[in-house]
């Protein structure tokens, strides 16, 4: 098995473990196009596995799931989370069982859904220690086989790209340290 999650922790933490930009947890192979345009924002969106929707839609929305290929819209200002370019209703942020990181700027929103690194937790650690251990801790868990981003993260994929960007952003906005 070509498994990205067995790479060295440092490689995983840097989000450089995936080959073909696909995580080893992406196992559903379908013939549908790799990308499709969101019907609302026109954002080019990536395929998402059916299991992601099965776990992350509110239970009463599961009846609306159709046997089609779904895509995940990553546009921050668009309320569509999952859509299909076949004849099926789309699912909005209200219909997702969790808050979607990219579409909800709240501090209580997870960046990493598997190990519960919320924006608040990352910010707090950086305030207290001036650095973040989120990426390396997540990488260790991934390597230990404890990650389930395919069913816990709304985008259905590894969070480390988001983690690293968010950490960078928080560090960049930290008040200047007094060095003298
Ligand atoms: Zn959209």
From ligand 1's centre to the CA of 102, what distance in Å?
11
From ligand 1's centre to the CA of 157, what distance in Å?
18
From ligand 1's centre to the CA of 43, what distance in Å?
6
Contact 91, 83 (CB under 8 A): yes
Residues 55-66 have pLDDT tens digits of: 999 999 999 999
- Tell whether the torsion through CA atoms of 26, 30, 36 and 39 is positive or negative: negative
Give the three-class secondary structure for 23: coil
| List of residues 6+ apart from 87 with CB closer than 8 A | 66, 68
From ligand 1's centre to the CA of 125, what distance in Å?
32
| List of residues 6+ apart from 22 with CB closer than 8 A | 4
Of the candidates 2, 1, 96, 85, the residue with the CA atom closest to the CA atom of residue 44: 85
Q: Which two tokens stand for residue 28?
A: 């559903």
Q: Token pair 């992601």 is at which residue?
A: 52
Outline where the chain has alpha helix (H). Answer: 9-13, 50-56, 119-129, 134-143, 149-152, 160-172
Contact 53, 100 (CB under 8 A): no
From ligand 1's centre to the CA of 37, what distance in Å?
8
Looking at residue 179, its pLDDT comes to 53
Using alpha carbons, list the distances in angstroms from residue 134 to 43, 51, 177, 178.
29, 26, 22, 25
Residues 108-140 have pLDDT tens digits of: 999 999 999 999 999 999 999 999 999 999 999
From ligand 1's centre to the CA of 35, what distance in Å?
13
From ligand 1's centre to the CA of 48, what distance in Å?
14
Looking at residue 84, its pLDDT comes to 97
pTM, 2 dp: 0.89
* Residue ranges in the chain modelled with pLDDT below 70: 1-2, 19-22, 176-180
From ligand 1's centre to the CA of 180, what distance in Å?
48
Helix (H) or strand (E) holding 35: strand 35-37
Task: Count the Cβ atoms, other than its own, within 10 Å of residue 178.
Answer: 5
């Amino acid at each position: 098995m070509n498994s990205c999650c067995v790479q060295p922790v440092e490689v995983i933490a840097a989000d450089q473990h995936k080959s073909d930009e696909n995580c080893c947890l992406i196992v559903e192979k379908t013939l549908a196009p790799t990308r499709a345009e969101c019907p609302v924002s026109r954002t080019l969106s990536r395929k998402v596995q059916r299991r992601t929707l099965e776990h992350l839609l509110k239970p009463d929305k599961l009846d609306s799931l159709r046997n089609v290929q779904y895509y995940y819209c990553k546009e921050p200002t668009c309320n569509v989370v999952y859509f299909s370019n076949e004849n099926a209703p789309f699912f909005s942020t209200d219909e997702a069982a969790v808050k979607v990181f990219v579409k909800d700027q709240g501090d209580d929103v997870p960046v990493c859904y598997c190990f519960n690194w919320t924006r608040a937790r990352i910010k707090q650690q950086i305030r207290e220690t001036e650095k973040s251990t989120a990426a390396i801790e997540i990488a260790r868990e991934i390597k230990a086989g404890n990650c389930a981003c395919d069913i816990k993260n709304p985008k259905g994929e590894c969070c480390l790209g988001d983690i690293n960007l968010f950490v960078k952003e928080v560090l960049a906005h930290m008040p200047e340290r007094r060095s003298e």
